[in-house]
């Protein structure tokens, strides 16, 4: 997965580099203070086919879609404790668009559906890539879920790794901020076990 991830990220960034308007940051959601240790940058790679992802640990780029979400936050602890959630309410509709571009990985034309997304705790971009226009037309932000995450990582402002998840190498998953704390929303790992309650997390931390 690591090699595929690297090529996927390079392809996304190459496509983004072709369009300067894609990398303009949305207006800042808050002013950072002089003592603010942030920002942190979160990168999530999604696939439209979680079943194939779980069985083969690969993303099928010939069907469906894949999406890259990159957001920045000054409250990474809050996002981990309260959960990372994304809905249509976070989309700035006037900044949404679709474009066709050359996809270097597949050596063919592809469609990019692009969103600017903002929240009181974070801001960033969501870029959905697909080979088929109908997939782009039918995509909805609500289609994203934690079981569709192939890779996720978080870097601090010095570009040091503070969180990592890779479906292909689960033994390397790590949260170096809140360690074993279960997380909710789009965070793929660690998840609370079925039947467990939030108060169990506090007990685990005291052991």
Give the pLDDT of residue 195. 67
Give the pLDDT of residue 33. 45
Counting the structural domains of the chain, the total is 1
Q: Which residues contact 90 (CB under 8 A, 6 or more apart)?
A: 117, 118, 119, 141
Cross-strand partners of 47: 66
Name the 3-class secondary structure at 159.
coil
Give the pLDDT of residue 199. 57
Are 176 and 162 contacting, i.e. CB atoms less than 8 angstroms apart?
Answer: yes
What angle (nearest 5°) sits at the alpha carbon of residue 186, between those of residues 184 and 191?
A: 40
Element housing 67 (H / E):
strand 66-73
Q: Which parts of the chain sit beneath pLDDT 70?
A: 1-7, 13, 15-35, 57-61, 194-207
Rounded Cα distance between 14 and 2, Å, is 18
Give the pLDDT of residue 4. 58
Domain encompassing residue 88: 2-206
**Percent helix, strand, coil in the chain (nearest 5)?**
30, 30, 40
Q: How far is CA 31 from CA 13, 35, 74, 122, 123, in A?
A: 27, 12, 9, 12, 13
Query: Global pTM?
Result: 0.80
In the block, tokens 């194939």 appear at 52
Q: pLDDT tens digit string along 84-133?
A: 999 999 999 999 999 999 878 778 899 999 999 999 999 999 999 999 99
């Amino acid at each position: 997965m690591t090699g595929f991830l690297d090529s996927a990220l390079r392809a996304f960034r190459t496509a983004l580099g072709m369009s300067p308007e894609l990398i303009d940051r949305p207006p800042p959601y808050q002013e950072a203070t002089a003592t603010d240790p942030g920002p942190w940058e979160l990168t999530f790679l999604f696939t439209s086919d979680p079943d194939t992802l779980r069985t083969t640990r690969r993303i099928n780029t010939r069907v469906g879609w894949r999406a890259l979400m990159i957001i920045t936050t000054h409250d990474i602890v809050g996002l981990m404790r309260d959960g990372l959630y994304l809905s249509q309410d976070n989309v700035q509709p006037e900044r949404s668009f679709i474009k066709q571009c050359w996809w270097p990985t597949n050596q063919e034309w592809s469609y990019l559906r692009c969103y600017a997304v903002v929240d009181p705790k974070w801001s960033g971009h969501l870029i959905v890539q697909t080979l088929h226009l109908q997939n782009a037309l039918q995509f909805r932000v609500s289609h994203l879920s934690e079981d569709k995450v192939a890779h996720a990582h978080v870097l601090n402002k010095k570009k040091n790794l503070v969180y990592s998840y890779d479906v292909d190498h689960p033994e390397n998953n790590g949260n170096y901020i809140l360690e074993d704390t279960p997380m909710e929303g789009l965070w793929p790992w660690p998840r609370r076990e079925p039947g467990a309650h939030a108060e169990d997390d506090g007990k685990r931390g005291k052991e």
